[in-house]
Amino acid sequence: MRLFLLLLLCPLTAQAGEVRAAVAANFTVPAQRIAAMFQADTGHDVKLSFGSTGKFYSQIKAGAPFDVLLAADDTTPEKMAREGLGIPASRYTYAIGKLVLWSRKPGLIDAKGHVLQGPFSKLAIANPKLAPYGVAAQEVLERLGLWSGVQGRIVMGQSSAQTMQFADTGNADLAFIALSQTMKDGKPIAGSQWTPPQHLYTPLRQDALLLTQAQDKAAAEAFLNYLKGAKAAAVIKAFGYDRP
């Protein structure tokens, strides 16, 4: 009986692979949960790295050994596919993000974001040159006519994660971050927040891409397919993202 069980397990072990995924910082916690489920269901191991989409683009172009990219936008994966860094047919939108203005202080931000016109000290945003959520934050401020007026009070993070850290540690009063970063177990974390209307910024369509160097890697393809499934969708929605 013991030998029979070992024979059953051997094929699964032999087929198990490793996926090296570059993941946009705003998707950190959802990616961790989905990777854990994927590993339990398939036996494949997932190594997650988190950061800004812009930095990942530079690293992958320089030869960084990633298999898949979960970007914070759709333009970077499209560009990478054109440049031969990714497989065009593999690209799809896995989530549509939402931008929020967040403060750890309850009651500081009202339902219309009027605090942006008030006497706050520091506003954190992700660097627009590196992070799509930084681009969205800049668009909101520009369309509200506030961009030039807040220049002296902006602190820039290298990713959405660092941007939230500025506000969470008190180094900024406010931060433009992803809605997902203000969610825990499907509920908002402590603090106050405002969700800008969608017409104030370009929709944050977040695309996944299989990288060219992993085009024959079954585990990487399996992970991208898993991200499309019902289990992954439930996690993605629980963190405030929309699905295409």
With contact defined as beta carbons under 8 Å apart, do 223 and 38 qualify? Answer: yes
Say yes or no: 166 and 227 in one domain.
no
Q: Are 107 and 187 in the same domain?
A: yes
Q: Quick one: 163 and 115 in the same domain? A: yes
Judge contact between 56 and 71, C-beta under 8 A: yes
Residues lower than pLDDT 70 in the chain: 1-15
Strands 174-178, 123-126: pairing kind: parallel
User: Do 190 and 74 belong to one domain?
Assistant: no
In the chain, the number of structural domains is 2
Q: What is the pLDDT of residue 14?
A: 44
Q: Please tell me the predicted confidence (pLDDT) of residue 43.
A: 97
Write down the pLDDT at residue 118. 87
- Residue 32, domain member (yes or no): yes
Check residue 55 and give its pLDDT. 97
- Whether 6 is covered by a domain: the verdict is no
Domain assignment of residue 221, given as a range: 18-96+203-238
Same domain, 127 and 208: no
Predicted confidence at residue 9, as pLDDT, reads 44
Q: Are residues 105 and 194 in the same domain?
A: yes
Quick one: tokens of 113?
Answer: 């974001």
Does residue 136 sit in the same domain as residue 55? no
